[in-house]
Amino acid sequence: MTESSLARRLAGDAIVDTTVATRRHEQAQHADKSPEERAALLRLAWSV
């Protein structure tokens, strides 16, 4: 997403940069969990 000119054109730099930073933070916070556990934890966070 960081390199996507389409995403940046549609959503704007601030949204893309914030979304990427948030996802990176989430990955770092839950690095010790399996992909399935991370998906379960973050599913509700992004669907509300």
* Average model confidence (pLDDT) across the chain: 88
Range 27-48 average pLDDT: 82
What torsion do the CA atoms of 9, 11, 14, 18 make, to the nearest 10 degrees? -130
Q: Which of residues 45 and 17 earns the better pLDDT score? A: 17
The set of residues, in sequence order, having a beta carbon less than 8 Å from that of 19 and lying 6+ positions away, is 1, 11
Taking the model in full, what pTM does it have? 0.70
pLDDT tens-digit readout, 4-24 = 999 999 999 999 999 999 989
Total residues belonging to the chain: 48
